Amino acid sequence: MKITRAYTVDRETIEILKKKSNKSQYVCRAVKRLHVNEGELRLYEIPVGELLQHCAGRGGCPQHIESVIREYYQIHK
């Protein structure tokens, strides 16, 4: 059964939906996919600085990796 609801979305989402022929189906698939994968950790969602900080803090990091981390922090001060 389908139910009509109104939700507030940002302009970027509206622009994406404008290009889709079946907007309701697209949104339903996206929400279901997000719901199923909600608890999974995705490395690309972790900020680079946070990931590098964690690696450096663990100790035992290879020297060439430590050099990359130091260079990253010098660039992003």
Query: What are the domain boundaries of the chain?
Result: 1-40, 43-75
Is residue 48 predicted with pLDDT exceeding 90? no
Tokens of 59: 């100790």
Q: Select from 44, 37, 47, 42 the least CA-distant residue to 72.
A: 47
Q: Output the pTM of the full model.
A: 0.49
Residue 59 has pLDDT above 80, yes or no: no
pLDDT at 45: 79
Question: What is the mean pLDDT of the segment spanning 42-47?
Answer: 80
Measured CA to CA, the distance from residue 37 to residue 70 in angstroms comes to 34
**pLDDT for position 26:** 93
Residue bearing tokens 């697209």: 26
Q: What is the pLDDT of residue 19?
A: 94
C-alpha 48 chain-centroid distance: 12
